[in-house]
Amino acid sequence: MVYHIPALLKESIDGLNIKPEGIYVDVTFGGGGHSMEILKRLKTGKLIAFDQDDDAEVNVPDDKRFLFLNQNFRFLKNNLHFNGIRSIDGLIADLGVSFHQFDEPLRGFTFRQEAPLDMRMNKSGSVTAAHLLNTMDEASLADLFYNFGELKNSRRIAKEIAACRTVKPLSTVRDIIDAVGKLALHRQEHKFFAKVFQGLRIAVNHEIAFLKEMLEQALDLLNPGGRLVVITYHSLEDRVVKNFIRTGNFEGEKKKDFYGNIETPFRIITRKGITPGEEELFRNNRARSARLRIGEKI
């Protein structure tokens, strides 16, 4: 089974503008696809890779230029400082769920196969999707599905979940499908459940909050001319990355200098973002929602 096929591989690695002697970070190691390509372009440089999922460690190469850290990327700066690294020349983040995580039934990341409602990226974490579904109050559940799942009928979803869990706890994929399936529009069931599972996964793993923490640390660590390369897969995280590269903040508030020029810590390399072409989508349809954004620190 393929662990993962990285999206926009050539475009993202080219976007790093790698210097053979530079120091680079891959904060989402996964199957190692991006890391392997970075190592091909390094000579005396160094690559540090992060992944909070223990399963990713099987893909670690035996290379003295490479350091793997089994950590969440929210701890980026502390871990680099601990290893004597104060600045970097580039950072890449591929924010998608790996094929391995989707395809491993017990992880519970997909509605396409029966499994426990887990969804933890870090398997040692204490909070699962089932825990959230059974313990959050109805209003908080509605907020979760509205803010993270982008579901307009989030209140009805929360109401159905609250009603179902009074009969028995929701613990499996089938339980959540049975609880809210009737709210999906005809022929849009897959899109509906994808958003339900997206909302739960983001909440379980604090994905948006941790992404923001990582981006702020990356800006502090990048040398002038260093590149920030991020691949996103849904509008929530893409908005965060786009705003940060364009304005240096997550709200997209444009601050101007005395002369009226917009102040930003980055030179924007990909103004509209790069999406996969037809050839890549033919080889890897799972890349269809990928969007690549690149900023160069000024």
Q: What is the pLDDT of residue 210?
A: 98
CA distance linking residue 117 with residue 110, whole number of Å: 9
Predicted confidence band at 5 (pLDDT cuts at 50, 70, 90)? confident
Measured distance CA(72)–CA(76) in Å, rounded: 8
Q: pLDDT value at position 217? A: 98
Predicted local confidence at residue 260, as pLDDT: 86
Range 200-229 average pLDDT: 98
- The pLDDT confidence band at residue 198, using thresholds 50, 70 and 90, is very high
Give the chain's radius of gyration (CA, Å): 20
Residue 106: the pLDDT is 79
Is the per-residue pLDDT at 1 higher than 60?
no
Question: For 47-72, what is each residue's pLDDT tens digit?
Answer: 999 999 998 999 999 999 999 999 99
Taking the C-alpha atoms of residue 110 and residue 123, their distance in angstroms, rounded to an integer, is: 16
Across 93-102, 171-180, 196-205, 271-280, least confident range? 93-102
pLDDT, averaged across the chain: 95
| The CATH homologous superfamily of the domain defined by 117-205 | Putative methyltransferase TM0872, insert domain (1.10.150.170)
Nearest to 280 by CA among 2, 7, 52, 4: 7
Domain boundaries, the chain: 9-99+207-297, 117-205
The predicted pLDDT at position 172 comes to 97
Burial pattern 117-141, b for ≥16 Cβ within 10 A else e, equals: bbbbbeeebeebbbbbbbebeeeeb
Task: Answer whether residue 257 shows pLDDT above 80.
Answer: yes
**pLDDT computed for residue 261 by the predictor:** 84
So what's the pLDDT on residue 2?
60
In this predicted structure, the answer to whether residue 93 has a pLDDT above a threshold of 90 is yes
Does this chain's domain 9-99+207-297 share its CATH topology with 117-205?
no
Percent of the chain with pLDDT over 90: 86
Maximum distance among all Cα pairs of the chain, rounded to whole angstroms? 64
Taken in order 63, 64, 70, 74, the sign of the CA dihedral is negative
Contact assessment for residue 128 and residue 155, using Cβ atoms and an 8 Å cutoff:
no
Torsion on CA atoms 200, 202, 203, 204, rounded to nearest 10: 80
CATH of 9-99+207-297, one of 3.40.50.150, 3.40.1080.10, 3.30.450.20, 3.40.1010.10: 3.40.50.150
